[in-house]
């Protein structure tokens, strides 16, 4: 018998199942990021975004379609993190605008909702790029519209839409050369596909593991990376590559997966010719390794203690929360009258934070590369700054959309987002502010100043890949410029020097070096002296940035 409608209760189950499936696949999605940097976090950003909405959906008692739609839209908008999270929130916003007026959803309404979701997301992105999550969303809406004309049976409609979405996702490397070169599909598109796959599982009546969405009273949410240590069932994240001695057939893959499932979870087993990539969470990595050795030689073995990492993260999170509370308390303590102009900056690292404080920034949002702040974080900061006009400096290209979203949600203050893509650009923007000028003049001056800043960042690669015609191996040092990877090497200083040679030109007047938490002050001073000798006609400044992951962040103006 055909199923022709989805009621509120079924939609609730489908949405929560989609969120749970995205959470389960987030690490796999993270690994699809093109740049092999330690902070590739599309899966994490999308998961935290949808989990914010799932929290509100869980809290509903006997919801109708209107309250369900509002919870999904509001929760995802406020919880949106990173570009992928913001786009996902806009897809959900458009989708829920269409369904909220209906008690039940049929194929025609579903097709219209998908179309509105796509249109809303495209509108939110200033320069939409094909080969991304937007392309997958567009494919879904086009196929839904086509099927709605021929069938009213959701059991036919849904699997066909998913099948076509998989096809569109597989074609994303043909639309974005950088994906093809890196050998991956679009990570945001993969995340969207996992959401609808999970939703379809719930539609079919499959048993869903809602471990990441703790029910309790219906109001408590446990973010995936904030679970208590006791909730970490398998303590070691184990990864390696098998170079097979003989053909690795389908039955071999099935056998190996079954064994890994018997000793752990979060299993990824991907075979390609004579190479097999393995990822498993287990309490005994040795068992996984011993089994793998029966198929061939092992390479790229990596074992991380997740419980230890979790404890370190708890400490970092506690320090971050304490700093934010102190900052908020100081602002409230001042009780100064409302001023004309205020500033919010996103920053990471105590040295960077101190520079912004000295420049007069009113509120610093801890975030940036390793954890993109959410729209709600932005709204909290806006609420704390008592000013008529507030400039926001995102200082990361993956945070600009969240800042814009906070701007659109703020009605009682004039929010101006300066689209700074790096911390050095943010510093230059603040320095360029003219107190005697009006807001419009300052907006123009700050944007113009940012154009003159070229930024480079030095970090390490977390996997093998090829990008920008550069062959990169796990552990290599990379120099990343504003438009891509400029330099690859084995030495932090040599890689930074090579990158600098590509950034400096005859008009350059200032080089600023910000050294990270893994660089000693003495080593940074010596490196700055080397740079001064290489460029005697250019001023060189060196500052303690204290940022994680990036050995140096440098700028040329």
Per-residue pLDDT reduced to its tens digit, 105-143: 999 999 999 999 999 999 888 788 899 999 999 999 999
Instruction: Give the least confident one: 180-189, 406-415, 524-533.
Output: 180-189
pLDDT of 514 higher than 50: yes
Cβ-contact 77, 93 below 8 angstroms: yes
pLDDT of residue 224: 31
Residue 343, pLDDT > 80, answer yes
Q: Which of 222-231, 370-379, 413-422 has the lowest mean pLDDT?
A: 222-231
Any alpha helices (H) in 125-153, and if so which ranges? 133-148
**231-258 mean pLDDT:** 81
| pLDDT on residue 477 | 94
Task: Round to whole Å and give the CA distance between 150 and 157.
Answer: 9
Check pLDDT > 90 for residue 208: no
What is the helix (H) or strand (E) element at residue 241, kind and residue range?
strand 236-244
pLDDT grade for 322, boundaries at 50, 70 and 90: low
Calculate mean pLDDT across residues 462-484: 87
Q: How far apart are CA 267 and CA 252, in angstroms?
A: 15
Query: Is the pLDDT reported for residue 351 higher than 60?
Result: yes
Q: What is the mean pLDDT of residues 232-249?
A: 81
- Note the pLDDT tens digit of each residue in 450-460: 999 999 999 99
Query: Rounded to whole angstroms, how far apart are CA atoms 97 and 113?
Result: 8
Q: Say if residues 76 and 505 touch (Cβ distance below 8 Å).
A: no
Give the separation between CA 550 and CA 458, rounded to whole angstroms: 5
Burial label, 255 (beta-carbon count in 10 A; 0-12, 13-18, 19+)? middle
Name which residue leads in pLDDT, 333 or 396: 396
Position 333 pLDDT exceeds 60: no
Half-sphere exposure for 258 (CA within 13 Å, toward CB) = 6
Which pair of structure tokens corresponds to residue 356?
Answer: 């912004």
67 pLDDT band, cuts 50/70/90, is very high
- pLDDT of residue 163 exceeding 90, the answer is yes
Query: Is the confidence at residue 334, as pLDDT, over 80?
Result: no
DSSP letter for 103, please: S
Average pLDDT, rounded, for the chain: 86
Q: Helix or strand or coil: residue 389?
A: strand
Backbone angles phi, psi at 252, to 5 degrees: -65, -45
Say yes or no to pLDDT of 254 above 80.
Answer: yes
The per-residue b/e assignment along 152-184, b for 16 or more CB within 10 angstroms, e otherwise, is eebeebbeebbebbbebbebbbeebeebebbeb
Instruction: For residues 176-189, give the mean pLDDT.
Output: 86
pLDDT at 538: 95
Q: What pTM did the predictor assign?
A: 0.71
Cα 148 from chain centroid (whole Å): 33
Predicted confidence (pLDDT) at residue 313 exceeds the cutoff of 70: no
Burial letters 208-229, b for 16+ CB under 10 A, else e: bebebbbeeeeeebbebbeeee
Rounded to whole angstroms, the Cα distance separating 36 from 40 reads 7
State both tokens at 241: 């590559």
Q: Note the pLDDT of residue 403.
A: 94
Kindly give, in sequence order, each residue whose CB lies less than 8 Å from that of residue 36, ignoring residues fewer than 6 positions away.
461, 462, 463, 464, 465, 467, 472, 474, 478
pLDDT of residue 316 exceeding 90, the answer is: no
Total Cβ atoms within 10 A of residue 256: 22
Question: If pLDDT is split at 50, 70 and 90, which confidence band does 319 have?
Answer: low
The CA–CA distances, whole Å, from 16 to 28, 100, 217, 355 equal: 20, 17, 16, 43
- Judged against a pLDDT cut of 50, whether residue 228 lies above it is answered with no
Rg of the chain on CA atoms, in Å: 25
What pLDDT is recorded for position 227? 35
Query: Which tokens in the block code for residue 371?
Result: 């954890």
| Nearest of 18, 21, 41 to residue 31 by alpha carbon | 41
Looking at 461-551, which runs of residues are DSSP E strands?
Answer: 465-467, 470-472, 477-480, 485-489, 510-515, 539-544
Helix spans in 458-538 (H): 492-503, 521-534
pLDDT at 329: 59
pLDDT beyond 50 at 218: no
Q: How confident is the model at residue 229 (pLDDT cuts 50, 70, 90)?
A: very low
Helices (H), 149-186: 154-170, 172-175, 177-182
The answer, yes or no, to whether residue 468 has pLDDT greater than 60, is: yes
């Amino acid at each position: 018998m055909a199923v022709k409608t989805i009621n509120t209760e079924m939609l609730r189950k489908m949405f929560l199942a989609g969120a749970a499936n995205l959470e389960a696949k987030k690490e796999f999605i993270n690994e699809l990021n093109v740049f092999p940097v330690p902070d590739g976090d599309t899966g994490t950003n999308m998961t935290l975004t949808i989990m914010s909405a799932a929290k509100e959906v869980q809290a509903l008692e006997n919801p109708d379609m209107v309250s369900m739609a509002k919870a999904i839209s509001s929760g995802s908008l406020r919880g949106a993190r990173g570009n992928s999270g913001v786009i996902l929130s806009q897809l959900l916003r458009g989708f829920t605008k269409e369904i909220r007026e209906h008690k039940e959803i049929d194929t025609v309404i579903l097709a219209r909702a998908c179309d509105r979701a796509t249109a809303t997301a495209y509108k939110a992105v200033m320069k939409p790029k094909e080969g991304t999550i937007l392309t997958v969303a567009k494919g879904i809406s086009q196929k839904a519209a086509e099927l709605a004309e021929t069938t009213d049976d959701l059991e036919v409609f849904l699997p066909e839409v998913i099948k076509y979405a998989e096809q569109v996702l597989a074609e994303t490397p043909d639309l974005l050369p950088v994906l093809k070169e890196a050998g991956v599909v679009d990570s945001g598109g993969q995340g969207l596909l996992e959401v609808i796959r999970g939703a379809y599982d719930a539609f079919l009546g499959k048993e869903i593991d809602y471990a990441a969405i703790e029910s309790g009273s219906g109001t408590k949410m446990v973010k995936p990376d904030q679970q208590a240590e006791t909730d970490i069932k398998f303590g070691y994240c184990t990864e390696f590559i098998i170079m097979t001695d003989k053909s690795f057939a389908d039955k071999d893959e099935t056998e190996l997966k079954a064994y890994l499932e018997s000793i752990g979870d979060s299993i990824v087993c991907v075979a390609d010719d004579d190479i097999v990539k393995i990822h498993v969470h287990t309490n005994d990595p040795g068992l996984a390794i011993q089994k793998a050795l029966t198929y061939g030689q092992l390479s790229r073995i990596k074992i991380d203690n997740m419980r230890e990492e979790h404890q370190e993260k708890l400490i970092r999170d506690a320090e971050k929360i304490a700093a934010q509370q102190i900052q908020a308390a100081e602002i409230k303590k001042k009780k100064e009258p409302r001023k004309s102009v205020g500033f919010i900056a996103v920053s990471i690292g105590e040295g960077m934070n101190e520079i912004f404080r000295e420049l007069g920034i009113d509120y610093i949002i801890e975030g940036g590369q390793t954890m993109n702040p959410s729209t709600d974080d932005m709204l909290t900061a806006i609420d704390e700054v008592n000013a008529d006009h507030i400039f926001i400096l995102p200082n990361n290209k993956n945070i600009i959309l969240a800042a814009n979203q906070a701007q659109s949600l703020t009605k009682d203050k004039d929010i101006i987002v300066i689209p700074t893509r790096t911390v050095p650009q943010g510093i230059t923007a603040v320095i360029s502010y003219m107190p005697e000028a009006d807001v419009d003049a300052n907006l123009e001056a700050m944007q113009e100043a940012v154009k003159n800043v070229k930024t480079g960042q030095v970090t390490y690669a977390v996997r093998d890949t090829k990008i920008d015609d550069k062959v990169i191996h796990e552990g290599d040092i990379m120099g990343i410029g504003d438009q891509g990877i400029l330099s690859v090497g084995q030495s932090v200083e040599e890689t930074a020097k090579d990158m600098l040679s590509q950034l400096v030109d005859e008009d350059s007047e200032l080089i600023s070096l910000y050294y990270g938490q893994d660089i000693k002050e003495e080593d940074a001073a010596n490196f700055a002296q080397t740079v001064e000798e290489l460029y005697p006609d250019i001023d060189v400044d060196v500052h303690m940035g204290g940022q994680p992951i990036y050995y140096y962040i440098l700028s040329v103006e």
